[in-house]
Amino acid sequence: MIHFVLLISRQGKVRLTKWYSPYTQKERTKVIRELSGLILNRGPKLCNFVEWRGYKVVYKRYASLYFCMCIDQDDNELEILEIIHHFVEILDRYFGSVCELDLIFNFHKAYYILDELLIAGELQESSKKTVARLIAAQDSLVEAAKEQASSLSNMIAQATK
Amino acid sequence: MGSQGGFGQSKEFLDLIKSIGECRSKAEEDRIVLREIETLKTRLSSPNTPKFKLKEYLIRLLYVEMLGHDASFGYIHAVKMTHDENLLLKRTGYLAVTLFLNEDHDLIILIVNTIQKDLKSDNYLVVCAALNAVCRLINEETIPAVLPQVVELLGHQKEAVRKKAVMALHRFYQRAPGSVSHLISNFRKRLCDNDPGVMGAALCPLFDLITIDADAYKDLVVSFVNILKQVAERRLPKSYDYHQMPAPFIQIKLLKILALLGSGDKKASEQMYTIVGDIMRKCDSTSNIGNAILYECICCVSSLHPNPKLLEAAADAISKFLKSDSHNLRYLGIDALSRLIKISPEIADAAQHQLAVIDCLEDPDDTLKRKTFELLYKMTKSSNVEVIVDRMIQYMISISDSHYKTEIASRCVELAEQFAPSNQWFIQAMNKVFEHAGDLVNAKVAHNLMRLIAEGFGEDDDAADTQLRSSAVESYLQIMGEPKLPSAFLQVICWVLGEYGTADGKYSASYITGKLCDVAEAHLADDTVKAYAITALMKIYSFEIAAGRAVDVLPECQSLIEEMLASHSTDLQQRAYELQAILSLDANAVEKIMPMNSTCDDIEIDKSLSFLNGYVQQAVENGAQPYIPESERSGMSNISNFKSQEDHESSTHALRFEAYELPKPMLSQNVPPILASSTELVPVPEPSYVSDILQPATSAPSGSDAGPSELRLRLDGVQRKWGRPTYSSATPSTSSNDAVKIQNEATQRDSVGMSNSKARDVSYDSRKQQVEISPEKQKLAASLFGGVSKSDGRQPSSSQKVSKHQNPTSDKSRAAKAAAPDTAVVKTPQTPPDLLDLSEPSISSSAPSVDPFKQWEGLLDLKQDPTPVSAGGVGSTETSDFMSLFTDMSLNVPSDGVAGTMPNVINGNGLGGIMADHSAQQLNKGPNLKQALEKDARVRQMGVTPSGQNPNLFKDLLG
């Protein structure tokens, strides 16, 4: 089971956190501090896995961002590494060559995508297409709602001219 | 799909992010965030804020909390937003609550109602959003409120909803297995779902269920094998392919399940051999995901009933992993090796593996090193224990992570106890462990060590015992002067010095007592150490008195005792008084109280105090009142009854929700006399207290002093693990005796046949057998192990005596290991002498055949990337260009030289140092570049210029 997902920038800034096991706000801060110290200091050619408090943390660096997932001792590390990559591929397709700025400004969208990918700490959907379809469906509803709102305000604006 | 690009946020939000990015210090950032929090507080609670604005504020609040600030004032607004009719707002609300709240938060109760309503919605997106929240927020208490709806959704027409419903049910099962136990059959049903996503989701709960009870699911073996077959034959929709592998994540899950079902079950295993073999053959070992499946296959094979063909395939795969340049693969190789070694010990004999293992052990990567230690731990036997434990101790000293230090220290102790080749070595090793990690190891370990020193190797070899003790005393006298010894170690030292300090006559009593006083004075704050020291003093003095020698209490001892007499700790005080009392007794009495070398004698407690009979008799004759037992005293007849009842109740501390059980008939028989005596039972705890303290009091006269007897009590039931076969004969279990015998044979074989190979074999099994007494496992291990030992049986036992001192062999093995690279090269000429040589033939041989440029241009769309794994991925991103930001999502790094050139070609600006992702990149090559440029332009337009103005945010991107 995945206990949490962390996205940290190279400066140790948190870009996204998702907790699948209960952690209090205090513990969260501590975990993030501990892990960013551990992971950011690792050399480039080492394993993508770190043992930590009896768990394993699998991380991968993409440009300036570290994607980390914390898993149980008996999970398959390489699989998790691929889940991370899977997530990044989906992000990339959604944002169109995703960059850190996309994730800073639209972090809530990254959360929506993550919610379609992982649920309760397990991979729920391994088909990129399905995830994309679901996100698109949600977005189209959002777009519709927006259009409605803007057309309404347009009408009001024209009426008051 | 496509780009959602235009960051779509208001100017305010952009400014906030920008200013935080520009912060130069944490204090500055905090100031900005606090200001933002104030703004959000007023805006969120203002009734005039338009709804769509609220949504943005909430997202800003999420951002604030992500930065580590308290945003709890806004939680209620998030909860309110989930009530909203508008899906856009509702979704944001749900996102916010799942991120803000834990499942035990007070506000959860306010959301349950909304969730209930939304689960019934006819818009499946609303249902999905609600189910996401259910998975995160519903706790044990609220499960019943949503359970019926979730179960209903298992049959929803949309597969996305069914999938999430399955996962929600799985979550409920994890939270409170009891609440959904009647619904477990639903998971089986979902296994046959038309949609592969739902089927894949159902595997998660089934995996959990099978982990707990595999037998109940044996009937599903055929189904799982069939599904796996279909997946491997690419019968699933193409969209489930990942890097040209058919639905790899589902394959891995299925392999995990099969491993559980086939474990220890020959019949079930036989059904799986074909498909597992097929998958192993089909795996593409050049891609990461292929290797992930391969690794899972090895794990599966190692847990199934052994099959020679599969084991061979697994061994091949492992050797490929170990030979790889990638740390990740070597890590997995080591892990896989330690799994396989359990059932197929021969695999470790391969010289190439040994080389690889040594390589990993010396690797600077901590993760890899630890994994290797784990493997070594499993491979340890008496011929290699010295090298392994020495290595472990060295590593233990070098690290600061206390969590791991504790673990490795207790492993050292365990191994040393089990396999120690000689007393000196054992004592030395223990000294090192205690010196550097004494406060981290379990107190039991220290007690175990004392017991080992006290009991030695068994009754038949007194000389060896004495030698062990005197070597311990000698080394402790040397070491005890060092500053900052851990408390646990000092306790051991004091105890050993007290028991055996003067035993061999080498050291005088005054020398030892002087040392003990030094210890006590140097550790004034540590009462436990002082207590150990003073008890040790007492023992030494009483031995002296008993031996008829005159006792001269050193002045510093005298002052120490006086100090203790006035100590705040009653324990210390008592010990000091006892010491004083003993000093004034004559030799005869002292010999009775403190018999020499008595720690191993069993203390028989005379509970009836029969030795006092004569005294009592005399007193009664002199006119004393005879003793009336508790039970016969009036008004006290119910005490024992009452006490047992109380015991029963105190054992269940938690609140009881079920009805009280009916009164038992036996109890009611006892009740009438109580009522008759008309003394209502009053819960007086006193009688039981009296009987409690009575026991130690009675035990006192028959035994030695409090210290050792306490120890002995604590050690009761602790397993005996000492490596010598004779030692464990003390435990009457025949099966463990067998194990020892078998291990003995194995050891013999080692010492005869393969002293130069640091091979790890059967002894692991035999050890396991000794440690775990679960009969089932024992049986399995015995069957596994029996085969091996039979073949060993023919080894002539006369060639070398059952070695008491294995120093010669292990020295040889150490020498062999030290020279390992050389010897191995001689032995296996096909392995290249330099393992770091990148040009390994088998795996990366295809690398040069693919032109990376072509690949970059997307000409080889479906071609797999040549090299196995990225080595960290981003060696040279320092100079990465903004537009090539995420292009290094490559699985694979062909080689550094090539890596440097590729982005140059594409970007034409020579900045890049990143590889192209082979799949994502190939799919939309042209647009990517354009998009990136567009994005860059857009960012500049917005004023978030990625330049020197805000270096913190963009430094890494521009380099």
Chain B residues touching A61 at Cβ < 8 A: 872-874, 877
Look at B873 and A86 and tell me if their CB atoms are within 8 Å.
Answer: no
Which residues of chain A make contact with B170, given a CB cutoff of 8 A? 120, 122
Whether A79 sits inside 8 A of B135 (CB atoms) is no
Measured CA to CA, the distance from residue B788 to residue B344 in angstroms comes to 10
| Among candidate residues B222, B5, B295, the one with its CA nearest the CA of residue B932 | B5
Q: Report the residue of chain B nearest A59, measured CA to CA.
A: B872
Taking only residues 138 to 167 of chain B, the set having a beta carbon closer than 8 angstroms to any beta carbon of chain A reads: 160, 163-164, 167
Report the pLDDT value the prediction gives residue B26, as an integer from 0 to 100: 83
Scored b (16 or more CB within 10 A) or e, B587-622 reads eeebbebbeeeebeeeeeeeeeeeeeeeeeeeeeee
Contacts of residue A89 in chain B, CB cutoff 8 Å? Answer: 889, 917, 919-920
| CB atoms B872 and A96 under 8 Å | no
Of B66, B197, B887, the CB nearest to A17: B66
B302-305: which pairs have CB atoms within 8 A and are 24 or more residues apart?
Answer: B302/B336, B302/B339, B302/B340, B302/B342, B302/B343, B303/B259, B303/B260, B303/B262, B303/B263, B303/B339, B304/B258, B304/B259, B304/B262, B304/B263, B304/B269, B304/B272, B304/B273, B304/B276, B305/B262, B305/B264, B305/B265, B305/B266, B305/B269, B305/B270
For B91-95, which contacts have Cβ atoms below 8 Å and span 24 or more sequence positions?
A: B91/A112, B91/A138, B91/A142, B91/B125, B91/B129, B92/A108, B92/B55, B92/B58, B92/B59, B93/B58, B94/B129, B94/B130, B94/B132, B94/B133, B95/A108, B95/A111, B95/A112, B95/A115, B95/B62
CA gap B411, B253 in Å, rounded: 32
- A150 C-beta neighbours (distance < 10 Å), count: 11
pLDDT of B780: 31
- How far is it, in rounded angstroms, from Cα B664 to Cα B27? 69
Contacts within 8 Å (CB) and 24+ apart, B75-81:
B75/B100, B75/B101, B75/B105, B75/B107, B76/B107, B77/B44, B77/B45, B79/B107, B79/B110, B79/B111, B81/B54, B81/B55
A124: nearest CB among B167, B174, B404 = B167
Nearest CA in chain B to A111: B95
Residues in chain B within 8 Å Cβ distance of A139: 4
pLDDT digits (tens, 9 = 90+) for B881-919: 433 434 444 434 344 444 444 444 334 333 333 333 444
Q: B582 lies in which domain range? A: 442-598
Residue of B nearest to A30 (CA): B68
Distance CA B557, CA B513 (A): 7
Which of the residue ranges A57-71, A145-159, B572-586, B935-949 has the most confident prediction, judged by mean pLDDT? A57-71
Facing residue for B874 by CB, picked from A44, A82, A104: A44
Inter-chain CB proximity B66 and A107 less than 8 Å: yes
pLDDT in tens, B269-298: 888 899 999 998 888 778 889 999 999 999
Quick check: A61 and B944 CB within 8 A?
A: no
- Name the residue in chain A with its Cα closest to that of B300: A76
* Closest of B742, B795, B750 to residue B770, by C-alpha: B742
What whole-number distance in Å separates Cα of residue B851 and Cα of residue B17?
Answer: 42
Domains of chain B: total: 1
A61/B872 Cβ within 8 A: yes
Which structural domain range is residue A59 located in?
A: 2-160
Dihedral of CA B632/B635/B637/B643: which sign? Answer: negative
- Assigned domain for B454 exists: yes
Inter-chain residue contact A137 with B125, CB threshold 8 Å: yes
**For residue B173, with 0-12 CB atoms within 10 Å meaning exposed, 13-18 middle and 19 or more buried, which class applies?**
buried
Among B7, B239, B891, beta carbon nearest to A128: B239
Neighbours of B337 (CB within 10 A): 30
Looking at the structure of chain A, the number of domains it has is 1
- Tell me which chain B residue has its CA closest to the CA of residue A89: B920
CA distance B644 to chain A (A): 40
Structure-model confidence comparison of residues B678 and A8, the more confident one:
A8
User: In chain B, what residues touch A39 (CB-CB under 8 Å)?
Assistant: none
Q: Which residue of B has its CA nearest to A120?
A: B135
State the DSSP H helix or E strand holding residue A68, giving kind and residue range, or none if neither: strand A65-71
Number of Cβ atoms within 10 Å of the Cβ of B104: 12
- Predicted pLDDT of residue A128: 84
Cα–Cα separations (whole angstroms), residue A113 to A89, B410, B921: 11, 44, 20
User: Which residues from chain A sit within 8 angstroms of residue B256, using beta carbons?
Assistant: 76
Q: Which residue of B has its CA nearest to A122?
A: B204
A45 touches chain B (CB under 8 A): yes
Can you give the pLDDT at residue B105?
86
Q: Among B461, B474, B537, B539, which residue's Cα sits nearest to residue B504?
A: B474
SS3 content of chain B, % helix, strand, coil (to 5): 70, 0, 30
Contact B241, B269 (CB under 8 A): no
Contact B367 A50 (CB under 8 A): yes
From B61, which residue of chain A is nearest by alpha-carbon distance? A108
Say how far apart CA B20 and CA B952 lie, in whole Å: 9
Contacting residues of B for A77, CB less than 8 Å apart: 328, 331-332
**Residue A14 with chain B: CB contacts under 8 Å:** 66-68
Look up residue A36 and give its two tokens: 């960013």
B439 Cα to chain A: minimum distance (Å): 18
d(CA B384, CA B378): 12
**Residue contact A123–B248, C-beta within 8 A:** no
Which among B5, B67, B370 is the nearest to A51, CB-wise?
A: B370
Question: What residues form DSSP beta bridges with B905?
Answer: none
State whether B957 and A64 contact (CB < 8 Å): yes
Residues of A in contact with B956 (CB under 8 A): 9-11, 63-64, 100
Domain presence at residue B559: yes
- Closest approach of chain A CAs to the CA of B777, in angstroms? 20
Chain B touched by A136 (CB under 8 Å)? yes
Q: Is residue B462 domain-resident?
A: yes
Selecting from A53, A106, A139 the residue whose C-beta is nearest the C-beta of B403 gives: A53
CA dist A110 and B553 (Å) reads 77
Cα–Cα distance for residue pair B141/B490, rounded to 1 Å: 50
* Coil/strand/helix, residue B594: coil
* Nearest-5° Cα angle at B192, B190 to B194: 95
Residue at B520 is within a domain = yes
Return the residue of A nearest to B913 by Cα. A63
Asked whether the beta carbons of residue B164 and residue A119 sit closer than 8 angstroms, the reply is yes
Asked if residues B203 and B250 have their Cβ atoms less than 8 Å apart, the reply is: yes
Inform me whether the C-beta atom of residue B33 falls under 8 Å from chain A C-beta atoms.
no
Say which CATH number the domain at A81 has. Answer: 3.30.450.60
Q: Which of A98, A108, A120 sits opposite B62 (nearest CB)?
A: A108
Please report the pLDDT score of residue B178 as a whole number: 85
Burial of B693 (0-12, 13-18, 19+ CB in 10 A): exposed
CB contact under 8 A, B249 and A134: no
CA B264 vs CA B258, B268, B304, B765: distances in Å: 12, 9, 7, 15
For residue B494, being part of any structural domain is answered with yes
DSSP string, B865-886: PSSS--SSS-TTGGG--GGGGG
Q: Is residue B577 part of a domain?
A: yes
Taking CB atoms and an 8 Å cutoff, what residues of chain A touch B871? 44-45
Judged by a CB distance cut-off of 8 A, whether residue A32 touches chain B is: yes
Tell me which residues of chain B have a pLDDT lower than 70: 1-9, 348-352, 457-461, 596-603, 634-933, 935-959
Query: Under a CB-based contact definition with an 8 Å cutoff, are residues B21 and B953 in contact?
Result: yes
Chain A segment 47-66 residues within 8 A of B by beta carbon are 47-51, 53-54, 60-64
Tell which A residues from 76 to 135 touch B, by Cβ distance under 8 Å.
Answer: 76-79, 81-83, 85-86, 88-89, 92-102, 104-109, 111-112, 115, 119-120, 122-130, 132, 134
Residue B817 has a pLDDT of 44
